[in-house]
Amino acid sequence: MCADLSRTPRTLLVCDRSSFLDHKNRVSSQVEQLHFIYKVSVLLPECNSASSSLDSVFNSFTSFYLIRKLPIYELLDKDFLQSAVYQGSVHGLSFRTRIDEDNCVALMPNGRLTLSLDKDSFELLGFEGKPSRFNHRSCSRFEVSVDLTDSSMAPGGRGYLRLLTGLKSHLQLQTDFLLSHHPGGGASLQALLSRYDWSEHKPKVSRRCLSNLVCPAPRSCDPHSLLEWLGAVDADVRCENSSSSFLSSFVCPEANTTLGHALSVSVSGLLLPHDVQRLIQELRCYLQQPQLESWVSLTVHGFTDSLVSWGGSEHGALIGGQDFYSLLMFHDHTYRLYLSTATCHTCPP
């Protein structure tokens, strides 16, 4: 056990400091790079309740759909390609599949279909792929990635028919599947949904009012300590380090102050970068109100078992570190953006 722990990979933290007023700021491009988001957490210091406009954004995240036992070849359906994939911004992810054990599927908003397959399934599929970057002792997992918008994958073409035959006749892969589309929404997905057992879901919004919250100085606090503190607040871990606590020895970094109250809000589900962008804009407006604390934080978490990490890079398993980013926004329009991943993953672009 000690030997295994000594080989635990380090995590990688990328920090960016800039201003929203700088037209070269990276916030929008970074938000778009994390395709599969399962949770957004917001901390509002010295706030008892969110404004009506901010609450409206929290409650208007795009709905998503759970399709049960979807045959993956249906993602190559001509009508689905035309009404959704070719229009852009389709997010699809196999549900409750583990990237270290199961066959997993992702459909990205740029039209790229990616499959992470075990060796037997890969051979049954009979389509070009490459060994996973995260194979350990043997070549046991493979990745197949196809651009469905490329001319070589046009319906009726050789590549299209080969992949369709592999998925429909040879591998016959099916899985519960999460699917969302903006701006078409359910209308663009209706033809596909109508053929299977499906349910529509609104992202879940949770709110917690916090009192006497010990808070570090966000501008001067060490980034790792600050993110650890934000994580403790989100997980409802207290930071007193009292002698009676057997759960946590964590204490708030120095120097710190005590906030009389704060509001923690989280949204969870299959969330779209588009909605995160809207939330960031509303938080910037919120910060311009008088008599408010001068900062807010937003943390975005990727799916643990998504097979895609930053951009389109492969996501590993059981190697430490999950993809997320935290954005600290200040009333003077400056921000600090922290992006995290495991060191064996591709560095966030």
Say yes or no: 36 and 85 in one domain.
no
Tell me how far apart the alpha carbons of residues 265 and 44 are, in angstroms, rounded to a whole number.
8
Would you say residue 265 lies in a domain?
yes
Say yes or no: 234 and 320 in one domain.
yes
Which tens digit of pLDDT belongs to each residue from 232-288?
899 888 766 655 555 556 777 777 888 889 999 999 999 999 999 999 999 999 998
Going by C-alpha positions, the residue among 230, 233, 234 that lies closest to residue 222 is 230
Q: Which of 160, 186, 201 is the last residue of a domain?
A: 201
Say yes or no: 91 and 184 in one domain.
yes
Say yes or no: 26 and 112 in one domain.
no
More confident residue, 310 or 172: 172
- Asked if 175 and 40 touch (Cβ cutoff 8 Å), the reply is no
Integer angstrom CA distances of residue 250 from 59, 164, 253, 299 = 33, 53, 9, 20
Would you say residue 349 lies in a domain?
no
Amino acid 174: pLDDT: 96
Say yes or no: 103 and 145 in one domain.
yes
Positive or negative torsion for Cα 206, 298, 40, 132: negative
Percent of the chain clearing pLDDT 70 (strictly above)? 87
Say yes or no: 76 and 47 in one domain.
no
Would you say residue 348 lies in a domain?
no
Say yes or no: 50 and 70 in one domain.
no
Tell me how far apart the alpha carbons of residues 146 and 107 are, in angstroms, rounded to a whole number.
10
Would you say residue 89 lies in a domain?
yes
Q: What integer best gives the mean pLDDT of the chain?
A: 87
Which tens digit of pLDDT belongs to each residue from 285-301?
999 887 666 899 999 99
Amino acid 257: pLDDT: 83
Tell me how far apart the alpha carbons of residues 238 and 211 are, in angstroms, rounded to a whole number.
11
124-130-135-138 Cα dihedral, nearest 10 degrees: 60
Tell me how far apart the alpha carbons of residues 230 and 27 are, in angstroms, rounded to a whole number.
19
Would you say residue 223 lies in a domain?
yes
Counts for the chain of helices (H) and strands (E), in that order: 9, 15
- Residue 1 pLDDT level (bands cut at 50, 70, 90): very low
Q: Which of 155, 179, 201 is the last residue of a domain?
A: 201
Q: Which helix (H) or strand (E) holds 261?
A: strand 256-271
Say yes or no: 194 and 141 in one domain.
yes
- Asked if 11 and 321 touch (Cβ cutoff 8 Å), the reply is yes
Q: Which residue in the block uniquely carries the two structure tokens 């049954």?
A: 124
Say yes or no: 180 and 225 in one domain.
no
- 109 Cα distance to chain centroid: 13
Number of domains in the chain: 2
Q: The domain containing residue 147 runs over which residues?
A: 64-201
Would you say residue 11 lies in a domain?
yes
Say yes or no: 288 and 272 in one domain.
yes
Say yes or no: 80 and 176 in one domain.
yes
Would you say residue 159 lies in a domain?
yes
**228-232, 299-303, 339-343: which range is least confident on average?**
339-343
Say yes or no: 97 and 166 in one domain.
yes
Would you say residue 207 lies in a domain?
yes
Q: Which of 201, 229, 252 is the last residue of a domain?
A: 201
